[in-house]
Amino acid sequence: MDKHHYEGRSVCLPALASLPAAEVIALAQRLAQGWQRRYLALPEQGLGMLQLQESTLHQAFYLGEFPVARAWVELTLPDGIQAQGAAHVMQDNAELAEALAICDAILSAQLPGAEAVAKAVAQGQAVRAQVQANRKVMLAKTHVNFSLLETTGGNDD
């Protein structure tokens, strides 16, 4: 794969996470088959605490918790090439976090299979774009221009 196609973690990981978990797990398992896998942090799932900056006086507080899974792996290919990958995902699915970490390693080090992962990234980006487009339609269809009573005609749009 052409290295120029790697858009960075901030694009690739969220895109992959928006695909069905089973698809991402199957992809990572297929691509990393036969490679050695060492855990730099064991895949685990639990909760994260969301720290929010309230927007009036800019003070911090905890809004509540969310499910989270994370993993950090080092892959060693049969030819000795090594690469690390890691990921957090807001789902209680450690297996998915591990799959994302594998995809992260493959993409960032341009390992064999990077093209397949890049294809999945493109699918994920399309999913995210569709979701965001739907939200914008919600806004566009409900955009309101209130007028003062004395300036109104018959139109209430």
Partner 1 sequence: MGYVAIKGGGKAIAGAEALLDYLRTEQGEAGLPLDTHTIETQLRYLHSRVMSEGGLYHPTLAALAIKQSLGDTLEAAFALRAFRSTQPRLLESPLLDTRNLRVVRRISSAFKDIPGGQMLGATTDYALRLLKMQLLDESPEQFRAIAKAWLADTPQTDIPDTFPKVLDALRAEGLLPEPQPAAGTPFDITREPLVFPVPRSAALATLARGETGSLLAIAYSNMRGYGDVHPTVAELRVGYLPVLLPHPISGELIEAGEVLITECEVVAMYGKAEKGQKPTFTLGYGACFGHNEVKAISMAILDRALQNGQANGKPQNPSEDPEFVLLHVDGIDSMGFCTHYKMPHYVTFQSDMDRLRTTQQQQQEGKA
Q: Binding of partner 1 at residue 61 (CB under 8 A)?
A: yes
Q: Binding of partner 1 at residue 137 (CB under 8 A)?
A: yes
Q: Binding of partner 1 at residue 149 (CB under 8 A)?
A: no
| Total chain residues near partner 1 (CB under 8 A) | 60
Based on CB atoms, which residue is closest to partner 1, 22 or 63? 63
Count of other CB atoms within 10 angstroms of residue 2: 9
**Alpha carbon distance 38, 45 (integer Å):** 18
Q: Binding of partner 1 at residue 7 (CB under 8 A)?
A: no
Separation of first and last alpha carbons in the chain: 51
Based on CB atoms, which residue is closest to partner 1, 36 or 132? 132
β-strands 60-76, 36-53 pairing: antiparallel
Q: Binding of partner 1 at residue 43 (CB under 8 A)?
A: no
Strand partners, 50: 64
Tell me how far, at minimum, the Cβ of 107 lies from partner 1, in Å.
Answer: 12
| DSSP code for 102 | H
